[in-house]
Amino acid sequence: MLALALCHIPMALAVCDETTSLADHVCKHVTDTWQQGGHDLYLPVYTYHIRSAHTQEELDSYREDTLGLGYGRSRYNESGDWEGLYGMAFEDSHSKLQYIAGYGYQWMWGEQDSLHAGLGYTVFLTARSNISHYTPVPGILPIASINYRQASLNATFVPPYSKGNGNLYFFWARLGF
């Protein structure tokens, strides 16, 4: 599913108009990121469930060492901010595969060739076994990163979205090549 979606991105990007509509603005950012961006390897690292938001029984059943892999393309735009397109698959808190593909934007502080940090957002589609058995669901979450050259450690907060789900921090590494 993820590979199929990533393969169709170049064809979908060919339809951007040169108008000033929001859709065309978004299309241009996505197109430029795909065409000008470098390759990225995504490595999901860890999921931290907020202890006060979950019962001990829930915590005992959750997986926190996140195993998975992903691919993306990213670039620093003319403003020095980071933009990326990505797809990942990883084991969720219930040890079931979760898929996610999306676009991220971070406002950056610091020099790109040394230590720098970013804050921004990601807009995505995700599919999980416990949400209508892998029916894709859209979402938007905040992201933060600490970066050194082409390597970064990233985090997001997933708010509660149903009983026993959410209230967690998700961490992943991104390595540019």
pLDDT in tens, the chain (177 residues): 444 444 445 545 456 766 677 777 788 889 989 999 999 999 999 999 999 999 999 999 999 999 999 999 999 999 999 999 999 999 999 999 999 999 999 999 999 999 999 999 999 999 999 888 999 999 999 999 999 999 999 999 999 887 768 899 999 999 999
**Full-model pTM:** 0.86
Domain ranges of the chain: 2-176
Name beta bridge partners: 141: 122
CA distances from 28 to 14, 97, 148 (A): 10, 32, 27
CATH 2.40.160.20 fits 2-176, yes or no: yes
Tally of residues, the chain: 177
Identify whether the C-beta of residue 75 lies closer than 8 Å to the C-beta of residue 83.
Answer: yes
33-50: burial string, b at 16+ Cβ within 10 Å, e else: bbeebeebebbbbebebe
Catalytic residue ranges:
49, 92-93
How far is the C-alpha of 32 from the C-alpha of 103, rounded, in Å?
12
Separation of alpha carbons 2 and 66, rounded Å: 18
